[in-house]
Amino acid sequence: MSFMHAVQIDRYGGTEVLDYAKVGRPVPGPGEVLIRAQAVSVNPFDCAVRAGYIAGYYQYTFPLIPGLDVAGVVEAVGPGVTQFSPGSAVYARLNPARGGAYAEYVLARVEEVASMPKSLDPVHAAAVPHVGLVASALVEAADLSQGKTVLIHAAAGGVGHLAVQLARQRGATVIGTASGNNLAFLHELGVDQVIDYTKTPFESTVKGVDAVFDGVGYDTLERSYQVLKPGGILLSIAQMPSQDKAASFGVRQQFLSDGQPGGAKLATLGKLLDSGQLKVTVSQVLPLSEIQQAHKQVESRHTRGKLVLQIAK
């Protein structure tokens, strides 16, 4: 058996359960692609998986290699795979029910894989898949278009900074919340109204928007119903919004979890990235071995754009 380095957990818990270890290298089966990873990224979803918050949604088995995003080179393909061949530069978002990206070699279903954007290096490509797919799903669910207004919470974060750009491409007016050190970044992204949530309650200045994108949850979600116009929609990726509370405000609500294979959408996002219409921001790069520090940073909720783990070769 061939071996590789990977990060795995054998139980749920804090960052101390993340173990950088030597494990067996996987072999691609029918419809699978084995990717020699050059970079993988860390998402808040990964931290929630590690902590056990997702255990009620997906039935994980231990030991588990977490992680959703990977960019690298195809090492081998399984039977029936004709879309990619060894040596192809690719990126992918893995099935959230399976994970497996925190490794030197990563198995993906062929329908999860797309060619790596030519304009991006592996570090920036790895930052795109999960947040890009979620941001796309948010914009589509809100049916944004010219004349509509959207409030995006955590607009400087991984999902947020891509959602801002995709919303503006559709002609929507964008209001974004962030802490003080990210306000200039939001202006650079083209946010029409920037709110420092540490100084100004967003509900004191925002009224009658068509949609709210919530990636924070808790009190932020609870205060968001009141800023929507009648018939508007609150979309959360952080926690389930209350159907009863939404009804009391005359608005709609939806918890958005895009776990479908995203290869085709990643190909579309790749064209936007290569044309310069979409830009991804990577604020920090760490080696895979520093996974515990990476999770601590992402859990601080102060990461601008994405944090990426580079795979040493």
In this structure, are 142 and 245 located in the same domain?
Answer: yes
Question: For residue 167, is it within any domain?
Answer: yes
Please state the pTM of the whole predicted model. 0.96
Instruction: Give the separation between CA 251 and CA 246, rounded to whole angstroms.
Output: 5
In the predicted model, is pLDDT for residue 313 greater than 70?
Answer: no
In this structure, are 143 and 215 located in the same domain?
Answer: yes
Q: Number of structural domains, the chain?
A: 2
Q: What is the pLDDT of residue 311?
A: 95
- Domain limits for position 117: 3-128+280-310
Domain containing residue 204: CATH number:
3.40.50.720
How many CB atoms sit inside 10 A of residue 35's CB? 30
Average pLDDT, the chain: 96
In this structure, are 97 and 118 located in the same domain?
Answer: yes
Question: For residue 274, is it within any domain?
Answer: no
Q: Give 280's contacts (C-beta < 8 A, 6+ positions apart).
A: 120, 124, 127, 128, 132, 161, 162, 273, 305, 306
How many CB atoms sit inside 10 A of residue 281's CB? 18
Q: Which helix (H) or strand (E) holds 221?
A: helix 218-222
Domain containing residue 285: CATH number:
3.90.180.10
**44-102 per-position pLDDT tens digit:** 999 999 999 999 889 999 999 999 999 999 999 999 999 999 999 999 999 999 999 99
Contact 214, 224 (CB under 8 A): yes
In this structure, are 85 and 151 located in the same domain?
Answer: no
Q: Which band of pLDDT confidence, cut at 50, 70 and 90, is reported for residue 137?
A: very high
In this structure, are 234 and 186 located in the same domain?
Answer: yes
**161-220 per-position pLDDT tens digit:** 999 999 999 999 999 999 999 999 999 999 999 999 999 999 999 999 999 999 999 999
Identify the three-state secondary structure at position 255.
Answer: strand
In this structure, are 183 and 210 located in the same domain?
Answer: yes
Q: Which band of pLDDT confidence, cut at 50, 70 and 90, is reported for residue 301?
A: confident
Q: Give me the mean pLDDT over the 215-240 stretch.
A: 96
CA-based nearest residue to 281, from 141, 178, 151: 178
Question: For residue 262, is it within any domain?
Answer: no
In this structure, are 120 and 138 located in the same domain?
Answer: no
In this structure, are 80 and 124 located in the same domain?
Answer: yes
Question: For residue 183, is it within any domain?
Answer: yes
